[in-house]
């Protein structure tokens, strides 16, 4: 009798906790693929990602970034604000069919952004997180299709593993990127 009661309580707890998790994920997105990516992050205990998302009341969705600007058409994702000032992570619709673990890495990266325009420090931290989560989430037993996103993630992991205390290859890559050079220059001009 006692064992049945314990099993029953365990079942009720599991059902209730999965319903609470599903309800909490609905606060971030309505998209099933993005929810799966968030569940994957939750499964590995990525609390910092959820803390960032909740702190900034972030919504996440797929969006054709080329609609914002032609120059964004090949970007993977971006963290921005909507017309009402709400934070939103937009993942390029080009990657809707990407593996869930890759979507999770994009979310991890974009969740680190808190400033309206990224600083070098913030972008380096976000990119490093993206690489670290790819290291954890990548399934070593499958061969991923060679796509720009797969290549990016693998490259970031290689840069992260090659970096030392004296030489940060991820920060160097960002510093040498014309996109971030332009973005950082705009921020510097605004501060004067």
Q: Give per-10-residue mean pLDDT for the chain (192 aa).
A: 49 40 77 96 94 91 94 92 89 97 97 82 94 96 96 97 94 87 54 31
pLDDT at 185: 56
Residue 82 is predicted with a pLDDT of 85
Axis-axis angle for helices 120-137, 178-190 (nearest 10)? 140
Q: What is the pLDDT of residue 189?
A: 34
User: Domain ranges in the chain?
Assistant: 2-190
> Which residue's entry shows tokens 């290689």?
158
Q: Shortest CA distance to 119 belongs to which of 50, 174, 176?
A: 174
Residue 84 backbone phi and psi in degrees, to 5: -105, 5
**Sheet strand arrangement including 87-92:** 59-63, 87-92, 77-81
pLDDT at 6: 53
> Integer distance in angstroms from the first to the last C-alpha of the chain?
74
Beta strands in the chain (DSSP E): 59-63, 77-81, 87-92
pLDDT of residue 57: 85
- The predicted pLDDT at position 36 comes to 96
Question: pTM of the entire structure?
Answer: 0.83
Give the residue from 83, 123, 85, 77 showing the smallest Cα distance to 104.
77
Which tokens go with 19? 């319903």
**CA–CA distances in Å: residue 21 to residues 38, 88, 171:** 10, 20, 35
Q: Tokens 């609609």 map to which residue?
A: 67
- pLDDT number for residue 119: 84
Q: Give the tokens for residue 122.
A: 């913030």
Residues 114-137: pLDDT tens digits? 876 668 899 999 999 999 999 999
pLDDT of residue 31: 96
Give the separation between CA 48 and CA 117, rounded to whole angstroms. Answer: 21
Helices (H) and strands (E) in the chain, counts: 8, 3
Residue 133 has a pLDDT of 98
> Distance (Å, rounded) from C-alpha 137 to C-alpha 44?
9
């Amino acid at each position: 009798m006692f064992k049945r009661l314990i099993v029953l309580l365990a079942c009720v707890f599991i059902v209730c906790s999965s319903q609470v998790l599903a309800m909490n994920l609905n606060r971030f997105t309505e998209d099933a693929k993005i929810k799966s990516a968030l569940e994957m992050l939750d499964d590995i205990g990525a609390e910092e990602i959820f803390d960032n998302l909740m702190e900034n009341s972030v919504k996440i969705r797929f969006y054709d970034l080329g609609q914002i600007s032609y120059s964004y058409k090949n970007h993977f994702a971006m963290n921005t604000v909507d017309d009402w000032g709400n934070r939103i992570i937009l993942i390029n619709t080009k990657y809707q069919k990407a593996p869930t673990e890759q979507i999770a890495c994009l979310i991890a990266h974009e969740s680190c952004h808190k400033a309206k325009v990224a600083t070098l420090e913030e972008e380096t931290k976000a990119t490093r997180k993206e690489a670290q989560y790819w290291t954890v989430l990548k399934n070593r037993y499958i061969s991923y299709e060679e796509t720009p996103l797969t290549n990016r993630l693998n490259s970031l992991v290689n840069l992260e593993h090659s970096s030392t205390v004296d030489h940060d290859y991820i920060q160097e890559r960002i510093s040498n990127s014309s996109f971030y050079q332009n973005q950082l220059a705009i921020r510097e001009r605004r501060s004067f």
